[in-house]
Structure 1
Amino acid sequence: MNNQNERLKRPRWVSAVNMLLHILVCQCGRTEGITVAAAGSTTNVTVGQRVLFPVLPEGNQTVIIELTFKSIIVVSWFSKSKSPKLLKSYERRIDIQEDGSIRMNKVQLSDSGLYQIKTHYMSVKPPLKPPKYSRFHLQVFERVSKPNITAECRRNNISLSCSSIRGNEVTYSWETLPAGGNDSCLHLGQTMEIYPLPPSESTTYTCTAKNPVSRATSDPIDLGVCSIQQPRDGRWVSALCGLSALFLIGLLIFFYKRNH
């Protein structure tokens, strides 16, 4: 009797666990490295991940499932044959799950775009069920690499530039922290111009690069050592300009007195 009770309880326990996992997948969108695409919205994924396009046919009916991308049929699957027809370039990257859902492996940047799943019901009894359409927008991102800062010491200012060699759709921001201070300043953009010249106290600058799937921060750079001074030749130029002006004024005075 106890054994029979345990057998009756076990399916309920298993069903509860499966339901919990299903809720987690729907809410979080990720499980075991798989991103579940959400119909009618944009799903962000990282290069190399796996994406699951859920297929939920209504009832236990015979169906034909088609996944199209850029108006091209990527995979066509007939529920009775169990053998999908794949576009040649996707043969090693697409799998059909037991429930008919379509899994794409090792996504690439070129996989970004709009996908459509058509579920065509093959019922032989009226009324005929119209086909069902589900649309998914997939956006693939490459993780950003650690950015580097380059500083150009100019005559009147310092130009800072931040760049990351890897990543797409990257945005940049700067953080400035004065020496001995706790209050930092933020600046948006890939470049930053510093006016006026930095004070003698050292100031630390860091740059952060990010996109919807990753972020990375550069090593700090201290611009206290970036001393901007006018070249020595500039003093001679200033002196010559002053002497020329005095000479010109003297000539004007001489000719004025001579004429009178």
Structure 2
Amino acid sequence: MEIFRLFAVLHCITLCGAALSASPISVTNLRVGVDVRFPINYHSDGQYEVTFKRKSPVGLKVLAWNSENPETPYRIHPQYIQRVRFYRDGFVEIQDVQFDDEGVYEIQTDYLGDQLRVNDQDLFELRVFEPVSQPMVVITGNCNLNCSASSGTDVTCRWKRQSADGIGDDTFYGAVLPLGNMSELQSHTYRCIAENPVSVEMSGPLTMEMCDGDGDRGPRNRWIFFLVPAFSLVILVSAIVLGIKRKARIRSSKLNGEGLIRTC
């Protein structure tokens, strides 16, 4: 499942490198800044008129043209005049999609004959996202793993745990994963995965060296409890020895001075 998920996102990224085609049968998720095309559905060799509308959150007519003169649309909304394009081979394109472009759009085709009739209407829903950045991991408390991404919209986080032998991967949902001690890090590798509908990013693997700070961190911190008192004891013993040696030198100097006086 993980491979299929990553493949789907990479496939979207490849398409988004050019222009993504919106579908009238599903929600279209877009990265901010890409171009999106809306296919025109018409079933007539006669004269017809096409209107490209935005239905929500604000209703307005974006573009309209007649099949007799498709090169020159007779209506372009000022908000889109620099970014909307009509192509005779059957689609409308909005360039450089922004967050404000999110919403529901409609392409309406009116067939012009003896009687005007509305025959085709296709609705398209766009959702626009900022891609997620590579997740950052902060370790707090008693080895609690906290995952976050500095950028991205509608970001969700999950944890991937892999055993040392590569068998038995597990997934934990949520940004915070409490381990409690380092025993889990000794036998497993953890990675945070941050994702949204248009992107997936993964942190580097977590090792024992990363799980330090306040709280009980396992064997490494237990060594510290022994090393600090031992180091203090060495310093105290060294000071006592140096003091004894200093007193001995002073006593020896006094004795030598008295001997010289008696000799004289």
In structure 2, do the counterparts of structure 1 residues 163 and 36 end up closer, same or farther at CA, with 3 Å as the change threshold?
Answer: same
1:145 aligns with 2:128: no
- Whichever residue aligns with residue 90 of structure 1, its letter is Y
Greater displacement, 85-94 / 169-178: 169-178
1:58 aligns with 2:43: yes
Secondary structure class of the residue paired with 2:159: strand
The equivalent residue for 1:176 is 161
The equivalent residue for 1:165 is 150
In structure 2, do the counterparts of structure 1 residues 182 and 98 end up closer, same or farther at CA, with 3 Å as the change threshold?
Answer: same
Q: CA deviation at 1:151?
A: 0.9
In structure 2, do the counterparts of structure 1 residues 75 and 220 end up closer, same or farther at CA, with 3 Å as the change threshold?
Answer: same
The RMSD of aligned alpha carbons is 2.8
Secondary structure class of the residue paired with 1:130: strand
**8 Å CA contact retained: 1:115, 1:136:** yes
Q: CA deviation at 1:221?
A: 2.5
Aligned residues: 197
Partner deviation per Cα, 1:42-71 (whole Å, 9 max, x = no partner): 122222222111113222222221111122
- Whichever residue aligns with residue 198 of structure 1, its letter is M
In structure 2, do the counterparts of structure 1 residues 32 and 145 end up closer, same or farther at CA, with 3 Å as the change threshold?
Answer: closer
Partner deviation per Cα, 1:103-148 (whole Å, 9 max, x = no partner): 111112222221111112222x25x433421111112222211111
Q: Identity of aligned pairs, percent?
A: 28
**Which of 213, 217, 226 lines up with 2:212 in the alignment?**
226
- Segments of 5+ residues of structure 2 without an aligned counterpart are 1-11, 218-264
- Segments of 5+ residues of structure 1 without an aligned counterpart are 1-27, 231-260
The equivalent residue for 2:178 is 193
**8 Å CA contact retained: 1:205, 1:220:** yes
- Whichever residue aligns with residue 103 of structure 2, its letter is G
Q: Distance in 2 between matches of 1:173 and 1:201?
A: 17
Partner deviation per Cα, 1:201-229 (whole Å, 9 max, x = no partner): 63532101112221111122324552634
Q: Distance in 1 between matches of 2:171 and 2:112?
A: 60
**8 Å CA contact retained: 1:33, 1:49:** yes
In structure 2, do the counterparts of structure 1 residues 30 and 201 end up closer, same or farther at CA, with 3 Å as the change threshold?
Answer: closer
The equivalent residue for 1:113 is 103
The equivalent residue for 2:31 is 46
Please give the residue correspondences for 1:17-96 in structure 2 after superposition, counting only pairs within 5 Å. 30=15, 33-69=18-54, 70=56, 71-82=59-70, 83-84=72-73, 85-96=75-86
Secondary structure class of the residue paired with 2:160: strand
TM-score between the two structures when normalised by the length of structure 2: 0.65
Q: CA deviation at 1:86?
A: 1.4
- Whichever residue aligns with residue 47 of structure 2, its letter is T
Secondary structure class of the residue paired with 1:175: strand
TM-score between the two structures when normalised by the length of structure 1: 0.66
Partner deviation per Cα, 1:161-210 (whole Å, 9 max, x = no partner): 111122222221112345x4424432111111223x22396353210111
In structure 2, do the counterparts of structure 1 residues 100 and 201 end up closer, same or farther at CA, with 3 Å as the change threshold?
Answer: closer
Secondary structure class of the residue paired with 2:200: strand
In structure 2, do the counterparts of structure 1 residues 80 and 159 end up closer, same or farther at CA, with 3 Å as the change threshold?
Answer: same
The equivalent residue for 1:103 is 93
Task: Indicate the structure (1 or 2) with the bigger Cα radius of gyration.
Answer: 2
